[in-house]
Structure 1
């Protein structure tokens, strides 16, 4: 499966596409503004030009959320982190960034060339939400400390182990939502449960309430590791959706620590049989358990994550 529709809400705000030909009709802080090239760019400067047009049309000091879409030949050109860093003195109210919000027609997820977001975090000490799409190409992370970030998400067809290890080394005392799409090794997703161990230990994540280890080819191993992970006791939502979770992983969850404190256990897009699915519902009566989108192996017995290309 690929991502074929744009988001309509981000950071609690409705998404508005900036069109340089149309004057904005909403206040700068009332929308999550999407900046995206709509035709084939002639040079790398076109996205910077679009950004300047946007900042001339709205009050930069009022902008709360930005969605960076197609910045032009994203399969070759890295995400415009440096551009946003340069704009930090003007975007003084920026609290949320989505870097790389592209759909299939613009770029497959594993073709998006990302960049180290650490300079972005340093430039915006008040940033609360950072979401990144694409990790196979270019994404690295310099371990950093950031005291305001509440939500960090990386969507990937394959998340490299070095990125997971770097996240584990970050100091993010305010982080409530951590979402990692682990993906498949066919697209660079070589992260292991050992890489996840510091995250599952929770020592650096004192207020984490949502943990998403999604879109994982190693979903069964992740489920087994989660079953005994200290961080789970403080979660309100555990999300293992979009992967290839089987009865093996579900049985490990049920045999592990109690999950009855959760508000939600999201397992949608899974390969569970009816018996284990029924046990999850029966043994977690106060938990919203999402076991929708049941899948079946193909004729060769292969199972597939939801987003890989």
Structure 2
């Protein structure tokens, strides 16, 4: 499975794709999240699209920016696009949210998106409150690979990495970052076949109490290690401060469900998201009874059935390729 829809909203704003210059008028600069898409703009190179955007929209008022397909002929790496945005960061003093690669599977498979080091975004925009990143080229090397370096950022509240295979290096870097304002952390970990080589040990710093003091939502999702992650979360000190937890989109089975039931109490959570799972009906009922009676909203939708080949069973995550 893959991502099938572009975002309708971002950072609390409706997403508006910049049209070709002949299609005016445009909304007020601060009323929408501006989406830049080289195909929607007439199949032009991204530098031309960027120039058109900055000429037609008052950059000082832009609050949110969404980068869609940035190539006009064949898949290109994100690095030159990111370098252009970062170089002109001073023109966007009001920018509070950036989403890199709002791209569907029809436009480019998530594992084919050629990303880069996204650390410069955080250093160039010290007031940024939300950063979303989608993709992670499983064949990427050097500057064409998704990566992150440990930084301190005092304003970031929301951080999302959506990937069919999130590199362990990125997970470890997040754990080494200082993000005192971070409230929402969402990681699609993916599978090893597409570069998702993060281990449960790599998650340990994220799960330590006090590391992200403001964190209220944690998503460790879309993983082929979902049972092991559930076991780690069941005893993680961080969980006590959360309001919502997502272990969705992965290969969660009764083994992981049992770990959640026998670990620390989760009844303080407002919401537990386990959608797309491989739990038995009886285990789903036990989780629902244990948490639902305490007022926790539990999402157990999307029950999956393993594929079978002979005497082998194969469980799959929601988003991989």
Distance in 2 of aligned mates of 1:294 and 1:148: 38
Counterpart position of 1:222: 229
Alignment of 1:295 with 2:304, yes or no, is yes
Q: Is the 8 A contact 1:168 1:198 kept in 2?
A: yes
Distance in 1 of aligned mates of 2:76 and 2:275: 34
Q: 1:154 aligns with which of 144, 161, 177?
A: 161
What is the total number of aligned residue pairs between the two structures?
307
- Compare 135-144 and 169-178 and name the one that shifted more: 135-144
Where 2:160 maps in the other structure, the secondary structure is strand
Report the CA distance shift for 1:98/1:168 in structure 2 as closer, same or farther (over 3 A).
same
**TM-score normalised by structure 2 residue count:** 0.93
Alignment of 1:46 with 2:45, yes or no, is yes
Distance in 2 of aligned mates of 1:173 and 1:228: 23
Distance in 1 of aligned mates of 2:227 and 2:42: 43
Unaligned runs of 5+ in 1: none
Q: Is the 8 A contact 2:20 2:42 kept in 1?
A: no
> How far is the alpha carbon of 1:4 from its aligned partner?
1.6
Distance in 2 of aligned mates of 1:2 and 1:196: 24
Unaligned runs of 5+ in 2: none
Q: Is the 8 A contact 2:70 2:76 kept in 1?
A: no
Counterpart position of 1:304: 316
Q: Is the 8 A contact 2:134 2:163 kept in 1?
A: yes
Q: Any residues of structure 2 matched to 1:256-295 within 5 Å, and which? A: 256-284=263-291, 285=293, 286-295=295-304
1:14-69 deviations in whole A, cap 9, x for unaligned?
Answer: 01010132224311110011001117998xx8201101111111110000000001
Distance in 2 of aligned mates of 1:299 and 1:105: 28
Q: 1:245 aligns with which of 230, 236, 252?
A: 252
> How far is the alpha carbon of 1:202 from its aligned partner?
3.5
Counterpart position of 1:163: 170
> How far is the alpha carbon of 1:174 from its aligned partner?
0.3
- Computed over aligned residues only, the root mean square deviation of the Cα atoms, in angstroms, reads 1.6
Runs of 4+ in structure 1 deviating by more than 4 angstroms, as ranges, are: 39-42
